Amino acid sequence: MNIYLLLNWKMNSTLIESAHLVEKYIEFLLDAPELLKVTIFPPAPYIFPLYEKLANTNSVTVGAQNVFEEPFGAYTGEISPIMISEACSYVMVGHSERRTYFNETNSSINKKIHLIMNNSLTPVLCVGEDLDTYNSGQVDEFIELQIKSACDNIKNIPANRFIVAYEPTWAIGSGLTPPPEIINERALLIKNVITDMGLMTDNASCPVLYGGSVNSINAKSFLELDNIAGLLIGQASLDLNQIGSIINQAFRQAKNNSKLI
């Protein structure tokens, strides 16, 4: 089973700093097993320069933090999936910050996913509850609605061409995380919803990742969970000490997975 590390830089770093980060990532990933999949999600202006910098390595790929829901048009400041399809392998969609600060809805997220897949890119759908929902005990229903709305009229996705990241809104940047056993239960719920929807071809397993205040101390406990296939990492991905440690932990987990094949 692949282990995914998706590194979301958000709106941080300069191009020079970004190039330095990438160089260090490559060093960390020397001799990494094939099952370890690392993708950076830099600010949009850096996508193509970093893609070119990574042209001679297979250890790191590039993703986009967001795209618009239309292929072309008079949408000043927006980016269409087709514009970044040459450089990117993955596109994040539905991140809680996009939902909160830019009022993205499940309907617009659904349009984006259709367009992303039509351009042969892999969507990374982010789902997760806010603190009020978490405390109400209605998390399962909340997440199920997010998935079903975002994936309306989507069927027969090939294996490893669709990823879901579980990221509770209240955990992002807070230093707080749900207990690992709860994260494992949420990931199983997500897998079951996707299976019930018939989303994947031949009921292929959908990778589910965890995101939300991931750091070098708690990463191992998440990577060891049965239903978690990797991590969506924000702030810690910009800290070389932290990300170096997390990559090393994922490196070992991927080697263990290789032995099971």
Angle between helices 15-28 and 240-260 (to 10 degrees): 40
**What is the tens place of the pLDDT at every residue in 79-94?**
999 999 999 999 999 9
* Strand, helix or coil for residue 202: helix
The pLDDT score that the predictor gives to residue 32 is 86
pTM above threshold 0.85: yes
Provide the 10 A C-beta neighbour count for residue 212: 27
Q: What are phi and psi of 204, to 5 degrees?
A: -60, 150
Our CA dihedral for 209, 215, 218, 222, rounded to 10 degrees, sits at 10
Residue ranges, the chain, pLDDT below 70: 258-261
The pLDDT score that the predictor gives to residue 259 is 56
Nearest to 143 by CA among 129, 131, 130: 129
The first and second tokens of residue 174, run together, are 């807070």
The yes-or-no answer on residue 20 being catalytic is: no
The pLDDT score that the predictor gives to residue 6 is 98
Burial of 48 (0-12, 13-18, 19+ CB in 10 A): middle
The first and second tokens of residue 241, run together, are 């000490």
CB 12 within 8 A of CB 43: yes
Active-site position among 69, 95, 104, 129: 95
Active-site position among 97, 104, 129, 167: 167
Task: Give me the residue label for tokens 């990300």.
Answer: 243
Give every CB contact of residue 212 below 8 A, 6+ residues apart in sequence: 128, 167, 168, 171, 172, 174, 177
**What is the tens place of the pLDDT at every residue in 124-158?**
999 999 888 988 889 999 999 999 999 999 999 99
C-alpha separations of 216 from 36, 84, 250 in Å: 17, 31, 11
The CA distance from 256 to 115, in Å, is 36
CB 28 within 8 A of CB 248: yes
